Amino acid sequence: MTEAARLRYRRGINSVMLTATGVCAVAIASVLLFILGYLVIKGARSLDLALFTKLPLPAGEIGGGLGNAIVGSAKILGLATLFGVPVGFLGGVYLAEYGNRGFAFAVRYTTDLLNGVPSIVIGIVAYTVIVMNMKTFSTLAGGVALGIMMIPIAVRSTEEFLRAVPDGLREGALALGTPKWRMLATVVIPAAKDGIITGIMLNLARVAGETAPLVLTVFGSPYWSPGISQPTASLPVSIYRYATSPYDDWHRQAWAAGFVLLMLILMTNIVARLIVARARPRGGR
Amino acid sequence: MTAANTASAISAARAPTAKTGARAFARRFFNGDEIARAIVTIAAAVILLVTLLIVFQLWTKSDAARERFGWGFLTSTTWDPSGEVFGALPFIYGTVVTSALALLLAVPIGLGAAIFLSELAPPRMSNALTFLIELLAAVPSVIYGLLGIYVMVPLLRSSVAPVMKSLFGWTPLFSGPFYGYSYFAAGLVLAVMILPFIVSVSRQILLAVPPEQREGALALGATQWETTWRVVVPFAKRGIVGSVFLALARALGETMAVTMVVGNTPKIAASLLGSGYSIASVVANEFPESAGLHQQALIELGLVLFALTIIVNGLARLLVASTSKMEARA
């Protein structure tokens, strides 16, 4: 091959591969657009007010809604935030501001490990700890399962955003004779507030779609579920049950509920990302 | 009171290095510092305890099944809840096959996209595409399952499978009848689900490759692709393999989307077009109505899955960590 032909060949390979990788990236991104488009078309058409306000009707009957599942999901997520966020937040404060030596290493390592545990396994554990002892599926058990899932992400986002706060702020506060905890509570944590809050939002969006642990812990119910100690319907589990059922009207409701769930999750993600993009501190450590 | 006790215990442990003396401690105690330290340390300890609790529960609540079946649990292919005989191999096989298939499909595409986003695309385009791909990671499993049942499976049945069969029908992997719900369908859904992880982790690793590496290769007259493929990617190789392992761990533990399209048959089918099962799916399907030995066997399956993902995650973290060390040196 002559020098010129070889160069042409190399340039040819170059443009072919550049195009191919570009096609890969665009293809993956368009999967999201496809999912979004499909759910909007299919889901929005199936949407009605009854979905939000009514109880499910017996299998096979047309009509009814998933009001109890929406309320159930909200309650489960509320409990999960209550259990997971304080532990994760304080653990993150420990790692960023206090942690050193062996114990911090162990905590960081376990956090990573916990983050990798499959959600179904967390469901099994919540079952053995709570459902077995209470002898009934319950909102509480679902809240605990999702709460455990929220811990590792809460730890990480808290630690990350606290570390991004410049040391000058800490030193300034300490130089005024402030105790460390007041320095943290009144200077450092407020400075990282936006980041930490968006971390929690993303965290909630992530567990809001979790289905597997809920199948094992809240099970499902065709009724309103008062309190936190009874089985309850939830949006993701209802979508799963309806989608795999043989009834057309339940399929319709699965699409509508899927649309609602997806929109809530994507909106939360987009809003959180916008806040982070605006709030990410520049020139931290 | 307990907070105070713990606080003093902790401070006693670190007494030699901290400002010594009971008076210094008393000052830190009364201005609240020791109490704050105790509170956050307790929270950190709770994280440790929760993780230990997971291991403890999986181990103790499956003891009867472990005693009864021993290591044979992992190699037996019979799953018979009414006869109380339980073997995990069909599920382990399904989990491994669907995850491997997902990797096979997702790694080349994901890596290609990551290369494009980090090395080749103009920044504005890269940011927009990265944003969309990261949102894809937020789509819940059950939505993938929904689309899997009503869009992908019919499509596979009507147009993809006939083509695959005519091309590869002579291999045992693509033989036999195809009803849609299969290892193949599950692998395909998993591939789409793990793509965003491969892309976003690999992209970050590629972005961390020092620019001097690229400049050197370009200065020697390499084309952009040659620079990327022969210099940047080899430099980031371990980290990229790490991202693939992270994605594998996700695929192994993925439950709902697989459950909805894999077919849920507790048998090993030689063909990828056959219907099978996975560890996570059988737990999701049978656990709520199980009791006794059946439930114990399902918890033991959870233990197996837990062990699998811990090993894969551990490998991934080792690889990713070793690349970031390399960067620090470079």
- Closest by CA position to A69, among listed A46, A53, A89: A53
CB–CB contact A25 B255 (8 Å): no
What's the DSSP call for residue A283? S
Structure tokens at B54: 């997971």
Chain A contact for B270, CB < 8 A?
A: no
Are the C-beta atoms of residues B184 and B100 closer than 8 Å to each other?
no
Please name the residue of chain B whose CA is at the shortest distance from the CA of residue A185. Answer: B36
Please name the residue of chain B whose CA is at the shortest distance from the CA of residue A218. Answer: B288
Give the pLDDT confidence of A169-180 residue by residue, as tens digits: 999 999 998 889
- Chain A contacts in chain B segment 73-132 (CB below 8 A): 108-110, 112-113, 115-117, 120-121, 129, 131-132
- Closest by CA position to A238, among listed B256, B136, B299: B256
- Closest by CA position to B232, among listed B311, B118, B61: B118
pLDDT on residue B8: 47
pLDDT on residue B19: 54
CB–CB contact B47 A114 (8 Å): yes
Asked which of A271-280, B8-17, B59-68, B154-163 is least confident by mean pLDDT, the reply is B8-17
What's the DSSP call for residue B169? T
Chain A contact for B206, CB < 8 A?
A: no
State yes or no: pLDDT of A56 exceeds 50: yes
Best of A16, A119, A211, A253 to disrupt the B interface (most B CBs within 10 Å) is A211
CA distance B287 to B68: 19
Instruction: Give me the residue from B139, B141, B229 closest to A35, CB to CB.
Output: B139
Chain A contact for B50, CB < 8 A?
A: yes
Q: B282 to each of A231, B140, B272, B309, how far by Cα in Å?
A: 21, 20, 19, 17
Please name the residue of chain A whose CA is at the shortest distance from the CA of residue B200. Answer: A25
Question: What sign for the dihedral angle of Cα A257, A260, A263, A265?
Answer: negative
Angle of helix B279-286 relative to helix B292-329, nearest 10 degrees, comes to: 140
Please name the residue of chain A whose CA is at the shortest distance from the CA of residue B223. Answer: A14
Asked which of A232-241, B57-66, B160-169, B292-301 is least confident by mean pLDDT, the reply is B160-169
- Closest by CA position to A36, among listed A200, A270, A202: A270
CA distance A207 to A198: 14
- Closest by CA position to A83, among listed B22, B67, B43: B43
> How many degrees, rounded to 5, is the angle at CA B286 between CA B182 and CA B179?
20
Chain A contact for B43, CB < 8 A?
A: yes
- Closest by CA position to B202, among listed B235, B239, B238: B239
Please name the residue of chain B whose CA is at the shortest distance from the CA of residue A206. Answer: B138
- Chain A contacts in chain B segment 149-178 (CB below 8 A): 149-151
Give the pLDDT confidence of A229-243 residue by residue, as tens digits: 999 999 999 999 999
| Residue with token string 């201005």 | B31
DSSP string over A90-138: HHHHIIIII--HHHHHHHHHHHHHHHHS-HHHHHHHHIIIIIHHHTS--
Give me the long-range contacts of B3-6 (CB less than 8 A, separation at least 24): B3/B35, B3/B38, B3/B39, B3/B42, B4/B29, B4/B35, B4/B38, B6/B38, B6/B41, B6/B42
Instruction: Give the pLDDT mean for A222-235.
Output: 92
Residue B124 makes CB contacts below 8 A (sequence gap 6+) with none
Please name the residue of chain B whose CA is at the shortest distance from the CA of residue A136. Answer: B288
CB–CB contact B140 A211 (8 Å): yes
Mean of per-residue pLDDT scores for chain B: 88
| Residue with token string 């679902």 | A142
> How many degrees, rounded to 5, is the angle at CA B254 between CA B253 and CA B255?
110
pLDDT on residue A279: 62
Q: How many other C-beta atoms can be found within 10 angstroms of the C-beta atom of residue A72?
A: 26
State yes or no: pLDDT of B3 exceeds 50: no
Beta-carbon contacts below 8 Å between A and B: 263
CB–CB contact B51 A110 (8 Å): yes
Residue at B11: amino acid letter? S
- Closest by CA position to B109, among listed B128, B127, B136: B136
Measured between beta carbons, which residues in chain A are less than 8 angstroms from residue B36?
180-181, 184
CA distance B147 to chain A (A): 8
Q: How many other C-beta atoms can be found within 10 angstroms of the C-beta atom of residue B114?
A: 30
Residue B326 makes CB contacts below 8 A (sequence gap 6+) with B238
What's the gap between Cα B244 and its chain centre?
Answer: 9
| A78 — pLDDT class (breaks 50, 70, 90) | very high
CA distance A251 to A254: 5
Instruction: Give the pLDDT mean for A7-26.
Output: 93
CA distance A53 to chain B (A): 22
Give the pLDDT confidence of B24-56 residue by residue, as tens digits: 778 777 778 889 999 999 999 999 999 999 999
Best of B30, B124, B127, B146 to disrupt the A interface (most A CBs within 10 Å) is B146
CA distance A117 to B51: 9
CA distance A154 to A82: 12
State yes or no: pLDDT of A89 exceeds 50: yes
- Closest by CA position to A144, among listed A80, A93, A199, A94: A80
Measured between beta carbons, which residues in chain A are less than 8 angstroms from residue B255?
118-120, 211-212
Angle of helix A3-46 relative to helix B123-136, nearest 10 degrees, comes to: 40
Instruction: Give the pLDDT mean for A155-183.
Output: 92
CA distance B138 to chain A (A): 6
DSSP string over A206-242: HHHT--HHHHHHT---SS---SSSS----HHHHHHHH
Instruction: Give the pLDDT mean for B58-66.
Output: 94
State yes or no: pLDDT of B316 exceeds 60: yes
Q: What percent of chain B has pLDDT over 70?
A: 91
Instruction: Give me the residue from B54, B146, B195 closest to A243, CB to CB.
Output: B146
pLDDT on residue A283: 43
pLDDT on residue B277: 94
State yes or no: pLDDT of B164 exceeds 80: yes
Are the C-beta atoms of residues B286 and B294 closer than 8 Å to each other?
yes
CB–CB contact B132 A90 (8 Å): no
Residue A123 makes CB contacts below 8 A (sequence gap 6+) with A145, A212, A213, A214, A215, A216, A217, B283, B287
